[in-house]
């Protein structure tokens, strides 16, 4: 967190020097297999103002501050909930660490699947912090069209290893800072989340690089992540400013974008004459052994986003407000910067400088585009391997218990230390007594459960309480060089109450991704998440209660009938009964009727 | 209540109970017959139902599959290269396949199973997906008939390439290439849920594909297999989805080897009977192991599609059509927001379009269980109950000893068979088991004889136990319950026949009849006979014994711990039973 805050602050320092309050940047980096990583960065800073603790019950006046470029819709929310830091992550997709390497910004701005909120809240005690947190998430829910309002105490965690590092703001006398975190792994990230994201920008997505952000294009990527970070920083004179950093990162499949542009969205079969076949194998009008993706490609921003960048952010702004940069191999790629102003058309090659990192400022009222051409798209800048790979999966099959298996692989030549943060909902009852560790390296696989202290150096565990809070586990783990460690432990599944099942109970329950923070000299250097998991709980047939009610009622009424009979009727012998039954009124009438019929028969002579 | 009281009093007055007791054996037999008649009546119009898609989200055959035109060239291209690999061993074939899959951008990995070649599998992560759910396409290198599965392999490669072009996936797709579709696949499925590093979330549905090298470009119809282990079936919705898509592709589907061209009473009945038999035999014999059952027990719905042809030239369905069926099925499953839960998990198919649900077919096995219980009742009613109760501890002790011996056999025989080479040992152990039942040798030297009371209470308890076994089984594994019920029917005649003994020698017809009944209902005699009828002698026995360890199919345990002890006890009773001469004389005098 300190690193994150530091990074944002350092970014903002640049901003302050350059254009005071707003800066935007787009970075493009081709990846192997015709992929492209695009990163949008927006930095906004509010005017310094006097920040004081907002007491919900005592304050009568409204919060009225002038924030300049900082969104005036967000400012009062932050202030009225006493949020000093807010980190929101919207992510969808699977980051293929094997082929794509490290996450952008060292993973500090990428969340796990779904939505994640982390906030630092100033409050006198935890109960009030929870109240603020609850208000904050409910307001943000409406603001970002996400189900953040479902965040409750039973999904909120208080990450321990992060709290030590809250920085950048000193609370008022008597107050403390609380760090709260929650994740919604099953939240689908969609256009409705992008629109409020764009509304936070002073340009509203109408000019500058944000014009590229079209929902159809942003979400048609292999992986995409949006982040919104608000940090409060205060000067010595007591004035504070809110600093907003927004990013969108996405991994685009260039071939698909090209195909969508040329052939439309439907994946129709390639026409026979356009097939790319391996000519060293049998190849004729009937047969074709396909080659991999083409490596000789050309494309532009227009291909990927369907439009060009419209102007700079502000017509009269600083010339360094909007910028664009490209990371590429100039020997293989020909990148052309194209400026299409009303009265001029400029094409300039960016490959001439032979730099791997080239940036350009957009400061004119023109349409900008970048054109990429290459003969071999496989030649890209080398991928930086992440310090650790991790995969997590559920084991077992039964509906009453299951297991979790996490495997960490350290590909490097030196040991890696990291914090493994995992929070599971209360209906997963974890057992650590059967936690097993197995280490795999070049010598083979070995069970190292007995000396686990060697690998798990520090552990913090806060058990779950039914319906009240989730379990929270933070382990400091070290993996030796070139080896992989598999950790397994089991859990029981609890039965939920009837009304606790969601409408789509048969979908299963999403378990939020675990967060892995790599430490180097006790400083976080890289952060990433495992995938989320889908847990199947015993799900009742929801019409069953009615069957049960009907059956129970039947059985009860039968039982009642028997008992009632026993209680109210007199017990007699069979002979007594027959004697009595012969003298009842009904029997007499019956006898009379029989006698009359007999008489009639006699008369009729039958 | 009052009505019941009146009726009971009347019955009592008329002295019906002794009369009914006298006819109990007949009642039992009639019930057994009516159970079979009931089953036969199920395929009649009005008794079965037409299949339908229960889960609205599936929407089968609502999309146009573009796995056509030039995709055919690609499938041919792959197939030629795969055919060239046929003389290489599986591990080097896997290497080449892996390089192709990696070129498509798929994550590949191996499962080392320790007894056969490694299983290669590749994961296609859904773009933007949650990565929590997956579908599996399984293509074994060898079909279940042992042929080279080159057509399906080429299809899988073509489909993998085709699937990566689409961005609609919400579930990951796992391509699995085991060396065979039996033990290695089972071991992969186990490992996927226990210790594989590369996983893709919970698998919702799996399709096993077989298209052997002899078929060429065209096939005629699809053989669809769906039986799982231990009486488990895939959700009916998955079968229906595949069937609807097949229908739209104009592909004929055959279930239990009977095609759906002309459906009438006979074909429905045949499909039903064959279905019941193959459900019992799933996992036990080579013919009834088709790949889909390996997913049983992990909450994965799985079917096997095998392209077949009868006489070439009649009807042409090209290989990409099978690809379109897979594509369509996957896209339907991909639509699912929840797990398969809407439709039936317990059903019997009568054709690809007709089925009967559990509520309709269950009475057949229930009646059988009642029939056995009644014959148990009749046995216990023919003796002095007070004496039986005083001997209760001996009776229960006998049962416990027999069960312990059977438990020993249940554990030791699979070990013996697994460690032996060739068929000899399994045949020998089969004989040992069958003769073990015939305690004849022992009975000659064993002086003590059992009284009528003990004999009949033991028999009664055995029959009751079988009846309970059937009752316990009938919901989870209806076919096995029904099959055991029918096969042990001769045991119900034993007490009646033993009551009619005039002398214990081969001049007595009842004595001979009892021996025949006992032989016919011996589980191992049945297994051996069925094995010979199915064609492979002791293979069925070997499959039965090994299936527990290999595939966790518990039919072996049901047989050795449920059926066999009861049979042993009844046979023992027969051997040690001594007729009471006085009673016999009294009977004759009367």
Q: Kindly report, residue by residue over A540-557, the tens digit of the pLDDT.
A: 888 888 889 999 999 999
Contact A532 B341 (CB under 8 A): no
Distance from CA of B349 to the nearest CA of A (A): 24
Of A220, A259, A561, the CB nearest to B1: A561
Q: Please give the Cα distance from A193 to B545 (Å, whole number).
A: 58
For the cut 80, the answer to whether the pLDDT of residue A295 exceeds it is: yes
CB B73 within 8 A of CB A286: yes
Q: Please give the Cα distance from B233 to B296 (Å, whole number).
A: 8
Task: Return residues 58-97 of B near A (CB < 8 Å).
Answer: 66-74, 76-78, 80-81
Nearest to B210 by CA among B260, B170, B254, B155: B155
Task: Return residues 482-501 of A near B (CB < 8 Å).
Answer: 484, 486
For the cut 90, the answer to whether the pLDDT of residue B4 exceeds it is: no
**Statement to judge: residues B164 and B311 lie in one domain:** yes
Contact B107 A270 (CB under 8 A): no
Question: Which DSSP string corresponds to A29-48?
Answer: EEETTTEEEEEEEEEEEPPP
| Residue of chain A with shortest Cα separation from B12 | A574
Contact of A397 with chain B, judged by CB distance below 8 Å, is answered with yes
Residues of A within 8 A of B129 (CB-CB) are: 93-94
**Statement to judge: residues B295 and B240 lie in one domain:** yes
Of B162, B299, B337, the CB nearest to A504: B337
Confidence of residue B93 (pLDDT cuts 50, 70, 90): very high
Structural domain range at position B263: 56-352
Q: Kindly report, residue by residue over A565-574, the tens digit of the pLDDT.
A: 888 988 888 7
Contact B76 A486 (CB under 8 A): no
For the cut 90, the answer to whether the pLDDT of residue A477 exceeds it is: yes
Helix (H, G, I), strand (E, B) or coil at A310: strand
CB B413 within 8 A of CB B561: no
Structural domains in chain B (count): 2
| Residue of chain B with shortest Cα separation from A274 | B70
Q: What is the percent of chain A where pLDDT is above 70?
A: 95
Helix (H, G, I), strand (E, B) or coil at A80: helix
Of B71, B105, B341, the CB nearest to A269: B71
How far apart, in Å, are the Cα atoms of B69 and each of A244, A269, A589, B75?
Answer: 52, 6, 91, 11
Asked whether residue B320 is assigned to any structural domain, the reply reads yes
| Residue in the structure block whose two tokens are 């104009």 | B250
Contact of A562 with chain B, judged by CB distance below 8 Å, is answered with yes
For the cut 70, the answer to whether the pLDDT of residue A283 exceeds it is: yes
Contact B127 A223 (CB under 8 A): yes
Confidence of residue A163 (pLDDT cuts 50, 70, 90): low
Q: What is the average per-residue pLDDT within B295-312?
A: 88
The pLDDT value recorded for residue A136 is: 94
Of A93, A281, A562, the CB nearest to B128: A93
Contact of A215 with chain B, judged by CB distance below 8 Å, is answered with no
**DSSP 8-state secondary structure symbol assigned to residue A234:** E
Top-confidence range, A235-244, A270-279, A478-487: A478-487
The pLDDT value recorded for residue B360 is: 92
Contact B129 A223 (CB under 8 A): no
CB B131 within 8 A of CB A532: yes
Q: What is the average per-residue pLDDT within B131-147?
A: 92
Q: What is the average per-residue pLDDT within B162-173?
A: 90
Q: Please give the Cα distance from B348 to B353 (Å, whole number).
A: 11
Q: What is the average per-residue pLDDT within A209-225?
A: 90
**Statement to judge: residues B378 and B339 lie in one domain:** no
**Statement to judge: residues B332 and B405 lie in one domain:** no
CB B391 within 8 A of CB B44: no
**Statement to judge: residues B129 and B79 lie in one domain:** yes
The per-residue pLDDT of chain A, averaged, comes to 87
For the cut 70, the answer to whether the pLDDT of residue A165 exceeds it is: no
A541, two tokens: 């047939």
How far apart, in Å, are the Cα atoms of A556 and each of A122, A544, A564?
Answer: 58, 18, 12
Reduce the secondary structure of B12-65 to three states and give it as a string. HHHCHHHHHHHHHHHHHHHHHHHHHHHHHHCCCCCCCEECCCCCHHHCCCCCCC
Of A93, A267, A285, the CB nearest to B166: A267
Task: Return residues 454-483 of B near A (CB < 8 Å).
Answer: none
| Residue of chain B with shortest Cα separation from A489 | B194
Q: Please give the Cα distance from A334 to A332 (Å, whole number).
A: 7
Nearest to A453 by CA among A478, A481, A487: A478
The pLDDT value recorded for residue B447 is: 57
Contact of A258 with chain B, judged by CB distance below 8 Å, is answered with no
Q: Please give the Cα distance from B482 to B480 (Å, whole number).
A: 5
> What residue segments make up the domains of chain A, in order of their start?
2-265, 389-535, 545-604
Q: What is the average per-residue pLDDT within B267-295?
A: 91
For the cut 90, the answer to whether the pLDDT of residue A164 exceeds it is: no
Residues of A within 8 A of B127 (CB-CB) are: 93, 221-223, 253
For the cut 60, the answer to whether the pLDDT of residue A450 exceeds it is: yes
Burial (0-12, 13-18, 19+ Cβ within 10 Å), A175 = middle
Contact of A395 with chain B, judged by CB distance below 8 Å, is answered with yes
Helix (H, G, I), strand (E, B) or coil at B356: strand
**Statement to judge: residues B395 and B469 lie in one domain:** yes
Q: Please give the Cα distance from A251 to A31 (Å, whole number).
A: 9
Contact A397 B194 (CB under 8 A): no
Of B68, B161, B199, the CB nearest to A393: B199
Q: Please give the Cα distance from A121 to A140 (Å, whole number).
A: 15
| Residue of chain A with shortest Cα separation from B341 | A506
Confidence of residue B382 (pLDDT cuts 50, 70, 90): confident
Q: How many CB pairs under 8 A join A and B?
A: 146
Burial (0-12, 13-18, 19+ Cβ within 10 Å), B481 = buried
The pLDDT value recorded for residue B444 is: 53
Asked whether residue B1 is assigned to any structural domain, the reply reads no
Confidence of residue B442 (pLDDT cuts 50, 70, 90): low
CB A181 within 8 A of CB A116: yes
Contact of A462 with chain B, judged by CB distance below 8 Å, is answered with no
CB A196 within 8 A of CB A73: no
For the cut 80, the answer to whether the pLDDT of residue B578 exceeds it is: no
Q: Please give the Cα distance from B375 to B492 (Å, whole number).
A: 6
Q: Kindly report, residue by residue over A379-400, the tens digit of the pLDDT.
A: 889 999 999 999 999 998 888 8
Q: Between β-strands A471-479 and A456-462, what pairing exists: parallel, antiparallel or unpaired? A: antiparallel
Residues, chain B, total? 590
Q: What is the percent of chain B where pLDDT is above 70?
A: 92
Reduce the secondary structure of A317-336 to three states and give it as a string. CCCCCEEEEEECCCCCEEEE
The helix or strand, by DSSP H or E, that contains position B163, with its residue range, turns out to be: helix B150-164
Contact of A538 with chain B, judged by CB distance below 8 Å, is answered with no
Contact A270 B70 (CB under 8 A): yes
Q: Characterise B535 by phi-psi region: left (phi > 0), alpha (psi -120 to 50), beta (else).
A: left
Of A96, A98, A268, the CB nearest to B66: A268
**Statement to judge: residues B300 and B414 lie in one domain:** no
Question: Which DSSP string corresponds to A504-516?
Answer: TGGG-EEEPPPEE
**Statement to judge: residues B331 and B427 lie in one domain:** no
Nearest to B318 by CA among B62, B79, B145: B79
| Residue in the structure block whose two tokens are 């560790």 | A437
Cα-flanking dihedrals φ and ψ of residue B260, to 5°?
Answer: -100, 30
The helix or strand, by DSSP H or E, that contains position B222, with its residue range, turns out to be: strand B221-225
Q: Kindly report, residue by residue over A346-382, the tens digit of the pLDDT.
A: 888 888 888 889 888 888 888 999 999 998 888 889 9
Of B66, B81, B195, the CB nearest to A267: B66
Contact of A101 with chain B, judged by CB distance below 8 Å, is answered with no
Contact B337 A507 (CB under 8 A): yes
Residues, chain A, total? 606
Poorest-confidence range of A7-11, B50-54, B140-144, B291-295?
A: A7-11
Contact A486 B73 (CB under 8 A): no
Q: What is the average per-residue pLDDT within B201-228?
A: 92
Q: Please say which residue of B352, B382, B410 terminates a domain.
A: B352
Distance from CA of A114 to the nearest CA of B (A): 8
Q: Please give the Cα distance from B14 to A522 (Å, whole number).
A: 95
Contact of A378 with chain B, judged by CB distance below 8 Å, is answered with no
Contact B338 A504 (CB under 8 A): yes
Contact B127 A253 (CB under 8 A): yes
**Statement to judge: residues B348 and B364 lie in one domain:** no
Q: Please say which residue of B327, B352, B377 terminates a domain.
A: B352
Nearest to B172 by CA among B122, B133, B143: B133
Query: For residues B164 and A166, which has the higher predicted lDDT (pLDDT)?
Result: B164
CATH for B142:
3.40.630.10
**Statement to judge: residues B382 and B300 lie in one domain:** no
Q: Kindly report, residue by residue over A36-66, the tens digit of the pLDDT.
A: 999 999 999 888 888 888 877 765 566 667 7
| Residue of chain A with shortest Cα separation from B194 | A395
- Contacts by residues B85-91 (CB-CB < 8 Å, ≥ 24 positions apart): B86/B148, B86/B150, B86/B213, B89/B117, B90/B117, B90/B141, B90/B179, B91/B117, B91/B118
Of B126, B132, B165, the CB nearest to A267: B165
Domain A389-535 has CATH 2.102.10.10: no
Contact B338 A507 (CB under 8 A): yes
Burial (0-12, 13-18, 19+ Cβ within 10 Å), A379 = middle
Complex-level ipTM: 0.86
**Statement to judge: residues B372 and B348 lie in one domain:** no
Helices (H) and strands (E) in chain B, counts: 23, 14
Q: Please give the Cα distance from A250 to A211 (Å, whole number).
A: 16
Nearest to B330 by CA among B207, B158, B150, B156: B207
The pLDDT value recorded for residue B433 is: 63
Confidence of residue B158 (pLDDT cuts 50, 70, 90): very high
Q: Please give the Cα distance from B309 to B316 (Å, whole number).
A: 9
CB A73 within 8 A of CB A112: no
The pLDDT value recorded for residue A488 is: 93
For the cut 90, the answer to whether the pLDDT of residue A492 exceeds it is: yes
Task: Return residues 200-229 of B near A (CB < 8 Å).
Answer: 201-202
Q: Please give the Cα distance from B243 to B239 (Å, whole number).
A: 6
For the cut 80, the answer to whether the pLDDT of residue B315 exceeds it is: no
Task: Return residues 486-515 of B near A (CB < 8 Å).
Answer: none
Of B105, B130, B161, the CB nearest to A290: B161
**Statement to judge: residues B160 and B185 lie in one domain:** yes
A78, two tokens: 């932050």
Residues of B within 8 A of A223 (CB-CB) are: 127-128
Contact A506 B81 (CB under 8 A): no
The per-residue pLDDT of chain B, averaged, comes to 88
Question: Which DSSP string corresponds to B253-316?
Answer: EEETTEESSS--HHHHHHHHHHHHHHHHHTTTSSTT--SGGGGTTTT-EEEEEEEE-SSTTS--
For the cut 60, the answer to whether the pLDDT of residue A6 exceeds it is: no
For the cut 90, the answer to whether the pLDDT of residue B412 exceeds it is: no
Of A99, A220, A269, the CB nearest to B70: A269
Asked whether residue B14 is assigned to any structural domain, the reply reads no
Contact B66 A269 (CB under 8 A): yes
Residues of B within 8 A of A185 (CB-CB) are: 130
Q: What is the percent of chain A where pLDDT is above 90?
A: 43
Asked whether residue B402 is assigned to any structural domain, the reply reads yes
Asked whether residue B8 is assigned to any structural domain, the reply reads no
Of B70, B162, B339, the CB nearest to A508: B339
CB A177 within 8 A of CB A283: no
For the cut 60, the answer to whether the pLDDT of residue A15 exceeds it is: no
Q: Residue B297 CB: number of other CB atoms within 10 A?
A: 20
Of B67, B81, B299, the CB nearest to A536: B299
Evaluate the CA torsion angle B9, B13, B15, B16 in order and state its sign: negative
For the cut 60, the answer to whether the pLDDT of residue B489 exceeds it is: yes
CA B466 to chain centre: 19
Contact B193 A269 (CB under 8 A): no
Q: Please give the Cα distance from B372 to A315 (Å, whole number).
A: 93
């Amino acid at each position: 967190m300190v690193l994150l805050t530091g990074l944002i602050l350092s970014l903002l320092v640049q901003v302050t020097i350059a254009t005071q309050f707003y800066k935007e940047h787009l970075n493009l980096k081709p990846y192997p297999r015709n992929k492209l990583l695009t990163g949008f960065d927006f930095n906004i800073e509010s005017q310094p103002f006097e920040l004081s603790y907002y007491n919900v019950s005592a304050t009568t006046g409204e919060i009225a501050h002038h924030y300049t470029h900082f969104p005036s819709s967000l400012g009062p929310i932050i202030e009225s909930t006493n949020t000093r830091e807010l980190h929101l992550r919207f992510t969808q997709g699977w980051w293929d660490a094997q082929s794509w390497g490290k996450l952008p910004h060292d993973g500090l701005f990428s969340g796990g699947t779904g939505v994640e909120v982390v906030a630092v809240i100033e409050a006198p005690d935890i109960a009030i912090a929870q109240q603020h947190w609850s208000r904050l998430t409910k307001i943000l829910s409406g603001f970002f069209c996400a189900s953040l309002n479902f965040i409750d105490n039973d999904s909120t965690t208080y990450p321990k290893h992060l709290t030590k590092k809250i920085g950048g703001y000193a609370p008022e006398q008597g107050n403390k800072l609380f760090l709260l975190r929650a994740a919604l792994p099953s939240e689908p990230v969609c256009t409705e989340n992008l629109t409020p994201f764009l509304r936070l920008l002073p340009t509203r997505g109408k000019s500058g690089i944000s014009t590229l952000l079209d929902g159809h294009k942003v979400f048609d990527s292999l992986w995409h992540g949006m982040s919104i970070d608000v940090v409060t920083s205060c000067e010595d004179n007591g004035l504070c400013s809110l600093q907003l950093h927004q990013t969108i990162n996405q991994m685009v499949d260039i071939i698909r974008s090209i195909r969508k542009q040329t052939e439309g969205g439907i994946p129709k079969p390639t026409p026979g004459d356009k097939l790319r076949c391996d000519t060293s194998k049998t190849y004729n009008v009937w047969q074709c052994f396909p080659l991999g993706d083409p490596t000789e490609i050309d494309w532009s921003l227009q291909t990927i986003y369907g439009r060009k960048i419209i102007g700079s952010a502000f017509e009269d702004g600083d010339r360094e407000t909007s910028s664009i940069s490209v990371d590429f191999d100039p020997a293989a790629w020909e990148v052309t910067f194209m400026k299409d102003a009303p009265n001029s058309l400029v094409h300039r090659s960016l490959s001439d400088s032979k730099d791997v990192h080239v940036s350009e400022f957009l400061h004119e009222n023109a349409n900008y585009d970048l054109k990429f051409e290459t003969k071999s798209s496989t030649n890209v800048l080398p991928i930086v391997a992440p310090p650790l790979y991790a995969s997590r999966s559920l084991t077992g099959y039964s509906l009453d218990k299951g297991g979790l298996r996490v495997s960490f692989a350290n590909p490097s030549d030196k040991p890696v230390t990291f914090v493994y943060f995992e929070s599971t909902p209360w209906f997963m009852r974890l057992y650590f007594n059967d936690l097993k560790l197995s280490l795999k390296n070049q010598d083979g696989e070995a069970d190292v459960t007995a000396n686990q202290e060697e690998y798990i150096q520090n552990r913090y565990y806060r058990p779950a309480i039914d319906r009240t809070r989730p379990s929270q586990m933070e382990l400091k783990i070290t993996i030796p060089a070139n080896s992989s460690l598999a950790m397994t432990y089991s859990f029981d599944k609890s039965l939920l109450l009837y009304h606790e099942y969601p409408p789509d109970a048969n979908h299963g329950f999403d378990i939020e991704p675990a967060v892995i923070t790599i430490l180097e000299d006790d400083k976080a250097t890289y952060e990433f998440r495992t995938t989320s998991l889908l847990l199947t709980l015993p799900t009742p047939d929801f019409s069953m209660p009615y069957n049960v009610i009907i059956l129970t009622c039947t059985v009860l009424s039968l039982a009642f009938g028997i008992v009632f009979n026993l209680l109210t009727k007199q017990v007699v012998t069979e002979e007594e009964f027959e004697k009595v039954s012969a003298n009842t009124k009904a029997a007499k009438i019956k006898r009379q009727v029989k006698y009359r019929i007999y008489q009639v028969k006699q008369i009729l002579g039958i | 209540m009052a009505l019941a009281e009146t009726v009971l009093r009347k019955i009592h007055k008329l002295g019906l109970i002794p009369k009914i007791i006298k006819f109990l054996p007949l009642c039992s037999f009639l019930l057994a017959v009516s159970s079979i008649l009931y089953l036969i009546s199920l395929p009649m119009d009005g008794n079965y139902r037409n299949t339908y898609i229960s889960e609205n989200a599936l929407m089968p055959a609502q999309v146009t599959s573009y796995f056509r035109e030039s995709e055919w060239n690609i499938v041919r291209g792959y197939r030629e290269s795969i055919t060239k690999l046929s003389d290489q061993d599986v591990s080097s074939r896997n290497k080449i396949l892996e390089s192709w899959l990696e070129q498509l951008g798929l994550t590949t990995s191996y499962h080392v199973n320790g007894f056969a070649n490694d299983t290669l599998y590749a994961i296609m992560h859904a773009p933007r997906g949650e990565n929590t759910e997956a579908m599996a396409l399984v293509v074994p290198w060898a079909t279940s008939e042992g042929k080279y599965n080159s057509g399906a392999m080429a299809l899988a490669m073509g489909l993998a390439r085709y699937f990566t072009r689409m961005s609609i996936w919400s579930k990951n797709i796992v391509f699995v290439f085991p060396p065979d579709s039996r033990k290695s696949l089972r071991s992969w499925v186990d490992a996927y849920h226990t210790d594989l590093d590369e996983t893709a979330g919970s698998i919702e549905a799996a399709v096993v594909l077989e298209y052997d090298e002899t078929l060429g470009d065209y096939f005629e119809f699809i053989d669809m297999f769906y039986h799982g282990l231990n009486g488990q079936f895939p959700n009916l919705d998955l079968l229906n989805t595949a069937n609807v898509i097949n229908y739209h592709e104009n592909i004929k589907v055959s279930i239990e080897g009977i095609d759906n061209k002309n459906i009438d009473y006979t074909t429905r009945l045949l499909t039903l009977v064959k279905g019941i038999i193959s459900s019992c035999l799933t996992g036990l014999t080579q013919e009834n192991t088709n790949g889909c059952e390996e997913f049983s027990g992990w909450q994965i719905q799985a079917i096997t599609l095998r392209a077949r042809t009868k006489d070439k030239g009649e009807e042409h369905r090209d290989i990409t059509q099978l690809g379109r069926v897979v594509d369509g099925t996957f896209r339907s499953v991909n639509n699912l927001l929840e797990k398969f839960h809407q439709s039936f998990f317990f059903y019997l198919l009568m054709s690809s379009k007709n089925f009967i649900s559990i509520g309709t077919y269950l009475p057949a096995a229930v009646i059988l269980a009642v029939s056995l219980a009644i014959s148990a009742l009749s046995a216990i009613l023919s003796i002095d109950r007070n004496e039986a109760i005083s001997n209760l501890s001996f009776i229960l002790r006998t049962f416990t000893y027999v069960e312990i011996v059977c438990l020993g056999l249940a554990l030791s025989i699979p070990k013996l068979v697994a460690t032996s080479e060739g068929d000899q040992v399994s045949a020998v152990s089969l004989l040992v088991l069958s003769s073990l039942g015939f305690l004849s040798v022992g009975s000659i030297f064993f002086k003590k004889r059992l009284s009528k009371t003990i004999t009949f209470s033991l028999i009664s308890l055995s029959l009751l136990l079988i009846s309970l076994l059937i009752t316990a089984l009938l919901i989870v594994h209806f076919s096995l319950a029904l099959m055991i019920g029918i096969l042990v029917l001769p045991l119900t005649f034993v007490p009646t026949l033993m009551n009619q003994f005039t002398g214990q020698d081969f001049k007595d017809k009842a004595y001979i009849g009892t021996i025949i009944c006992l032989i016919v209902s011996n589980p191992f005699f049945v297994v051996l006979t069925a094995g010979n009828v199915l064609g492979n002698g002791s293979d069925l026995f070997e499959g039965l014994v090994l299936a527990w360890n290999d595939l966790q199919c518990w039919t072996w345990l049901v047989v050795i711990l449920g059926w066999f002890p009861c049979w042993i006890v009844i046979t023992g009773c027969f051997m040690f039973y001594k007729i009471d001469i006085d009673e016999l004389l009294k009977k004759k005098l009367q």
